[in-house]
Amino acid sequence: MAKNIDKIAILTSGGDSMGMNAAIRAAVRYALGKGVTVYGVRHGYIGLIENDIFELDYQSVSNIIQKGGTMLRTGRSDEFKDPEVLKKGIKNLTDRGINNLIVIGGDGSFRGMCDIEHHTDVHCIGIPGTIDNDLAYTDYTIGFDTACNTVIDAIMKLRDTAASHGRIMVLEVMGRNCGDIALYSAIAGGAEYVIVPEAPVDIDEIARSAKEGIDKHDKSSTIIVLAEGKKEVKEELIKKVAEATGRTTNQVVLSYLQRGGTPTMADRVLASRLAVRAVDLALEDKNARVLGVKGNEVIDVDVVEALKMKKKFDTKLYDIGRLVSK
């Protein structure tokens, strides 16, 4: 240890993601085993401002690993962007002798870390918790796998109804400007088409291809997965596909169903691995580092550099989806 760190705090910020509780549990129990006092901050950065900070023990994190959401609750705070408000919030930590903070969240939460680094002496470590999988420095984020499994389950259920009625289903999924949820789920769920913001879309070609599938292959159903980052094409898509095929074309917006539910094994394990490493870095008094995985190895990256990175779209995976779907 660089110095004797005997207290750390943990908060979750931004949108909830499945596996946050697993990360909280692992961090708390690992830190307690190291003789460190652990505090939780409710409602993210809002809790710092409002001094909603409390001590956590083994019992506090009992029976939460299987639960979605976050037992610390979460939120977004524009107010925290004000340096004076930020300093007030951080003082609520330092008044308790806490100078090391673990932040679980996405890019907005990590920007909050940057602000803390710039304006105070409190050291922060970040854990990527977002279903969108939109952070370029890491292969996967906590919650992504569970969100994809939720979408896959929806595809399977929509397929039953679509096949029974001879319909076409357009399923809109989350991800903001990242198409990973749509892409991975479409491939794993056997959808015929996937539309993502990273790739050009030819609606006329989709309509023509859908008609060909019905005419030549007697397809009883068609599933089109649409990333929300490309939802501006939805109205035209539904209209042209329905006109070309002569089939009822329904839309389903999965929305917040993707953010809740029991986290998968993959998300629980990822969360636990990253949380333990986050505590180690905190106890080494490291600052402004964010955790991730590359090639199944846990990595840590400077938060400013991580936020500068541009995510590369997996064109090979996208091509695989196009080749095996029709």
CATH code of the domain containing 183 = 3.40.50.460
Tell me, rounded to whole angstroms, the distance of Cα 84 from its chain centroid: 30
Q: What is the band of 326 on the pLDDT scale with cuts at 50, 70, 90?
A: low
pLDDT score of 21: 98
Q: Are residues 158 and 33 in the same domain?
A: no
Query: For position 54, which CATH number holds?
Result: 3.40.50.450
Q: Tell me: do 136 and 223 sit in the same domain.
A: no
Residue 324 forms part of a structural domain: no
Does 134 share its domain with 281? yes
Active site residues: 132
- pLDDT > 90: what percent of the chain? 97
Identify each DSSP E strand in 180-248 by its residue range: 193-195, 222-227
**Where does the pLDDT of residue 322 fall: very low under 50, low under 70, confident under 90, or very high at 90 and above?**
confident
For 34-51, the pLDDT digits (tens) are: 999 999 999 999 999 999
> Are 134 and 271 members of one domain?
yes
Kindly state the helix (H) or strand (E) to which residue 142 belongs, with its residue range: none
